[in-house]
Amino acid sequence: MMKVLVFNAGGTQVLHTVDLMHAIRMLNRQVARVLDAVPGRSFGPHPLPRSVELVTYIYARWVYEATGRTAPSVENVLRRDRYRCGYCGRVASTRDHVKPVSHGGKTTWLNLVAACLECNGRKRDRTPKQAGMRLDIVPFIPTPADLWPKARVRR
Ligand SMILES: [Zn+2]
């Protein structure tokens, strides 16, 4: 049986997979909508789903208990810091180790901030102090709600 990915509302957070019939029931009950479909294929009135998205955001505590904490990936650090550079406040596209890895800095939430390409390049493998740069934000460990705020949910 074909498996279908189930995303939380907002379409960025994978919750789990269900089999196709389960996904179709979700579509019929209108608790989910098709996010990605197999081109040219349908199942009853629906495009044949590869992935579906919940209509309503759920706070999936069990997802995090199963997988541990959310990882401080580049995307997640950018999300936590709302895509703003921690040094200059402009749009960020990279993740900076506040204390560089070469100085023993760890890849953890508390040692990572979003940074624009320019600031990241200027700082290099120096601490903010060594680089003469001021960090304007205090890194924190985000909750899932910090990363996927309800405000982002499309209805
Ligand atoms: Zn910057």
- Residue 154 confidence (pLDDT): 44
Q: Which residue has the tokens 């990605």?
A: 36
- Residue 6 confidence (pLDDT): 86
pTM above threshold 0.85 = no
Cβ neighbour number for residue 137 with a 10 Å cutoff: 16
Q: How far is the CA of 145 from the centre of ligand 1 (A)?
A: 25
- The DSSP element (H or E) to which 32 belongs, if any, is strand 32-43
pLDDT tens digit string along 1-57?
Answer: 788 988 888 887 777 788 999 999 999 999 999 999 999 999 999 999 999 998 887
Domain ranges in the chain?
Answer: 3-63, 71-145
Q: How far is the CA of 148 from the centre of ligand 1 (A)?
A: 23
Q: How far is the CA of 149 from the centre of ligand 1 (A)?
A: 24
Q: How far is the CA of 28 from the centre of ligand 1 (A)?
A: 47
pLDDT tens digit string along 115-128?
Answer: 999 999 999 999 99
Contact residues for 119 (Cβ-Cβ < 8 A; gap 6+): 85, 86, 87, 88, 96, 133
Cα of first residue to Cα of last residue in the chain, in angstroms, is 30
